[in-house]
Structure 1
Amino acid sequence: MTAPTRPTYRFYTATSLDGFLADEHDSLDWLLSQPTGDQSILPMDDFMAGVGAIVTGRTTFDWVQSHADTVEGAWVFTQPTFLFTHRAPTQLPDGITQVSDSPAEHRTAIEEAAQGKDVWIVGGGDLAAEFARAGMLDELFVSIAPVTLGTGRPLLGGRFDLDLQEHGVNGALLEARYAVVGERDRPPRATMAP
């Protein structure tokens, strides 16, 4: 009997040209106004067909809930979802498991829920960085919008080396798929000469 293969952990997201997932008010208006085409290197439908479990942070969860076209209180995705938060929502939709602590502590449950398919880290950037630090982020797929925000929620909270695997254009968006190599070493602190 062979052991099941480990799922691929993927952060599939979009960013402004200056590296923000959302503006300072957690708005995505800057992204939703961008024209897209049908030339994506990884179409959303194809991506979702390979997703077995979802991971999200509280801010992303709240945004999706407030913008989803679903029955009130329902979660927009059908895959088992792990909500990383210390603030319990007033209503937890079916299919969502609230967790806290580090991603590594929930690895077994997440991978069992994925049933051999991929794990999608929906957001945000700080949560994706926690997964990367735990060795649980394999790929970053990012659509880059032709807009700068100046401030907001960073794409990936931390210092990581990435390896470009594929790139393309979809309407106004540049697309890039990166393998996550690992966390960058911090540079030595500069010291002042005596």
Structure 2
Amino acid sequence: MTTARVRYYTATTLDGYLADQHDSLDWLLTQPIDEDGAMNYGSFIEEIGAMVMGYTTYAWLLEHEVGDGKPWPYDIPCFVFTHRDLAPVADSVRIVEGLPADHRSAIVDAAAGKDTWVVGGGDLAAQFADAGLLDEVVVSIAPVTLGAGRPLFPRRFDLELLEVDRNRAFVCARYAVVGPRPVASP
């Protein structure tokens, strides 16, 4: 029996951005991908029992995936980390404030023995890593550079490569989170 993991599953540009300065994902949505290929979303989501995201990711989903008759796209428990006063858009959504460690028990309980998906953004994933709560980073790297935007992981951490593959335009890699990377002395 394996222990449930906390996994940051995302896509990034070659220069390490999740979105551009305007939170656009146009760079991602134009890339060819095999829905059944290496490290695909369908296989990944089968292992997920709960998800966590920050405000910007939640707002993006509300703007692009919900409304006009389209319901909240996930039926698993979702924890949205924010200091804003928001109303959840579905019964499965919980708005929470504080650090990941403050909500660890509730997230683990909600996942019911399955893995937890850190959807985004990079700062929230780094907060989970800072607390020692992030086990893996699974990233699909697109052949695009943006030069600026929302960083993939804005902290110094060492990772261990566990798996690498290709899914059409993407290099897909799975890493174990080793721990914080020390700052070198001058």
Question: Does the Cα contact within 8 Å between 2:137 and 2:176 map onto a contact in 1?
Answer: yes
Number of positions where the alignment pairs a residue of Structure 1 with one of Structure 2: 186
What SS class does the counterpart of residue 161 from structure 2 fall into? Answer: strand
Q: Which residue of 1 is the match for residue 151 of structure 2?
A: 154
CA contact (8 A) 1:164 1:179 kept: yes
- Alignment of structure 1 residues 58-73 onto 2, 5 Å: 58-68=55-65, 72=69
After superposing the two structures, state which structure 1 stretch, 7-16 or 81-90, moved more: 81-90
Deviation for aligned residue 1:67: 1.4
Structure 2 unaligned regions, length at least 5:
none
CA contact (8 A) 2:66 2:72 kept: no
When residues 69 and 171 of structure 1 are mapped into structure 2, their CA distance, relative to the original with a 3 A threshold, is: farther
Q: 1:186 to 1:97 in 2, by over 3 A?
A: same
Normalised TM-score (structure 1): 0.90
8 Å Cα contact 1:60/1:124 also seen in 2: yes
Say if 1:166 and 1:6 are closer, same or farther in 2 by CA, change over 3 A. Answer: closer
Contact 1:54 1:81 (C-alpha < 8 Å) held by counterparts: yes
Please state how far the C-alpha of 1:89 moved relative to its aligned partner.
2.6
1:10 is matched with 7
Assess, with a 3 A threshold, how the Cα gap between structure 1 residues 106 and 31 changes in structure 2: closer, same or farther: same
Q: Would you say the 8 A contact 2:134–2:177 is kept in 1?
A: yes
Gaps spanning 5+ residues in structure 1: where? Answer: none
Quick check: 1:104 aligned with 2:85?
A: no
- The CA deviation at 1:90 is 4.8
- Is 1:113 matched with 2:110? yes
**What is the distance in 2 between the residues matched to 1:74 and 1:167?**
34
User: Is 1:25 aligned to 2:59, yes or no?
Assistant: no
CA distance, structure 2, for counterparts of residue 152 and residue 80 of structure 1 = 28
1:91, distance to aligned residue in structure 2 (A): 5.0
Identity %: 52
Measured in 1, the distance between the counterparts of 2:11 and 2:124 equals 15
User: Match of 1:182?
Assistant: 179
CA RMSD of aligned residues (A): 1.8
Larger Rg: 1
Normalising by structure 2, report the TM-score.
0.94
